[in-house]
Amino acid sequence: MTAPAPVLPELHAPATWHLVDFISDLHLQAGDPATVDTWKHYLSSTPAQAVIILGDLFEVWVGDDAAAAPGFEQDCAGILAKAAERCEIHFMQGNRDFLLGPDFLEASRMRGLADPTVLAFAGSRWLLSHGDALCLDDVSYQQFRQVVRDPVWQSAMLARPLAERRAIARQIREHGNRASAGNPGDYADVDATAARGWLQSAGATTLIHGHTHRPGANDLPEPEGACASTGPTLRRVVLSDWDMRAKPPRAEVLRLSSAGLERIAIG
């Protein structure tokens, strides 16, 4: 399976941006108030002029109408809208919240981002993605992803009653939790060759992504047998997931400035 280089929209940072924060895979849910509280405090205190959320902000999203009535989703919209008074907030869909749409973006005052997007900042180009589209070895997931990202499938799903959608989401989550009970190291990771192709199309040297829950930085070597490159080293930097119930708790921000990237522990 291949991941063809997509058409790449660009986000040009204004001159007023000096710090840009990246977060992903918070998997916010009502049953995890500790992580929600940490996220709320972070949004109210970050010095960044922009926060870019690279997917899976929520554990599950069944449609924007879930936030129409008082409850967890509406509370989150209020937290985001208040934070947006301090800084710009940009959101990219992940594999858990791909149904998050324009109504919630408007209510929360977030700005939607396509996956992938090129960020032009401080004279450099950074490629941003949730990362799931590049995990090519997970063939069953890629087939599932192709189905659920189809606008026809999404329209049919969103036409179902909200209670039914919540029930379907619970079933999917239970299945996913059973499937993820093994060693995370066994799961498919980002395909290096596909990531290199995306970076070359973007004119960027660094891919920033989440999804894999394997925080770190990795060089992307040339494929075996390829001619040695004389260009800059290509690499990917992976965001952490957030889970304040874990031992030890996990919550990290990747902060970009003119000096480069810095990983910051939160909480």
Q: What does the pLDDT read at residue 222? A: 79
| 267 Cα distance to chain centroid | 20
Q: Where are the alpha helices (DSSP H) in the chain?
A: 33-45, 72-83, 102-108, 139-148, 151-158, 162-179, 192-202
**How far is 131 from 128, CA to CA, in rounded Å?**
8
Q: Is the peptide bond before 70 cis (omega within 30 degrees of 0)?
A: no
145-160 confidence digits (pLDDT tens): 999 999 999 999 999 9
Range list of β-strands (E), the chain: 10-12, 20-23, 50-54, 88-92, 111-113, 117-121, 124-129, 206-209, 216-219, 235-238, 252-257, 260-265
CB 47 within 8 A of CB 19: yes
State the pTM of this model: 0.93
Q: What does the pLDDT read at residue 6? A: 65
CB 54 within 8 A of CB 94: yes
90-127 confidence digits (pLDDT tens): 999 999 999 999 999 999 999 999 999 999 999 999 99
pLDDT band at 179 (very low <50, low <70, confident <90, very high): very low
| 82 Cα distance to chain centroid | 21
Query: What's the start-to-end Cα distance of the chain, in Å?
Result: 40
Side by side, the strands of the sheet bearing 260-265 are: 111-113, 88-92, 50-54, 20-23, 252-257, 260-265
Mean per-residue pLDDT, 72-79? 98
10-181+188-221+230-265 belongs to CATH 3.40.50.720: no
- Which is nearest to 68 in space by CA: 43, 103, 18? 103
pLDDT band at 181 (very low <50, low <70, confident <90, very high): very low
pLDDT band at 7 (very low <50, low <70, confident <90, very high): confident
Q: Which amino acid is at 37?
A: D
| 250 Cα distance to chain centroid | 16
Share of the chain above pLDDT 90, in %: 85
Q: What does the pLDDT read at residue 5? A: 59
Average pLDDT, the chain: 92
DSSP 8-state class, residue 191: -
**How far is 19 from 48, CA to CA, in rounded Å?**
5
Domain range list for the chain: 10-181+188-221+230-265
pLDDT surpasses 90 at 175: no
10-47 confidence digits (pLDDT tens): 999 999 999 999 999 999 999 999 999 999 999 999 99
Lowest mean pLDDT among 17-31, 64-78, 177-191: 177-191
- Angle in degrees, CA 13, 216, 251, rounded to 5: 75
